[in-house]
Amino acid sequence: MTKVSMRINGEQVNADVDGAQLLAYFLRDKLNLTGTHIGCDTSQCGACVVHLNGRAVKSCTMLAAQADGADITTIEGIQKNGELHPVQRAFQQHHALQCGFCTPGMIMAAVDIIENTNDLDEHSVREQLEGNICRCTGYQNIIAAILSAAKEMRG
């Protein structure tokens, strides 16, 4: 067991973790943050994307122990004062989700894309979503939602 200490969604978390435990399982099993999903074994689908120190990472790709000292945000932590994040709102408005399983990872990836890309257009959003698979939507409305949220977030 390894002792870890991290901030998750603004709260301090101290825990003993199995050295082999992946961050995704730590979030789901230990902290009951089941919004982070696991859709593949090969870091391909992106359902498990969370923010680690402000950048999107696949939480199935790193050990919980590696996140020691980190500041983590999951899908459960992006609302501010009970208000939906603009990306969450845009996903609903644009019908950018169907079954909802890829959605948390998509939203977390989208927030990162918007915050860290200067000139966003349809092409660049599509390219940057390479790491997230959706089987339901054909991506069309996801792209529309991200572009719309980007516009709103940049005023």
Residues numbered 72-91 forming contacts with other proteins, rule: CB under 8 A? 74-76, 79, 84, 88, 91
What does the block give as tokens for 52? 């680690």
Residue nearer to other proteins on the CB measure, 67 or 129:
129
Binding to other proteins by residue 61, rule CB under 8 A? no
Comparing CB distances to other proteins, the nearer of 50 and 69 is 50
**Applying CB under 8 A, which of residues 31, 48, 134, 147 lies at the interface with other proteins?**
134
Backbone angles phi, psi at 81, to 5 degrees: 50, 40
26 to 45: interface string for other proteins, x by CB under 8 A:
--x----xxxxxxxxxx-xx
Q: Which of 31, 56, 64, 141 binds other proteins (CB under 8 A)?
A: 141
Task: For residue 121, give both structure tokens.
Answer: 């257009």
Please give the size of the binding site for other proteins, defined by CB under 8 A: 54
* Among 57, 72, 86, 103, contact with other proteins (rule: CB under 8 A): 103
DSSP string, 24-83: HHIIIIIT--TTS----SSS-S-TTEEEETTEEEETTSSBGGGGTT-EEE-GGG--BTTB
- Residue 121 touches other proteins, criterion: CB under 8 A: no
What is the per-residue burial (b if ≥16 Cβ within 10 Å, else e) of 13-31?
bebebeeebbbbbbbbeeb
Report CA Rg, the chain: 15
Neighbouring CB atoms inside 10 A of 105's CB total: 28
- Interface residue list for other proteins (CB under 8 A): 18, 20, 25, 28, 33-42, 44-45, 47, 74-76, 79, 84, 88, 91-93, 95, 97-104, 107, 122, 125-127, 129-130, 132-143
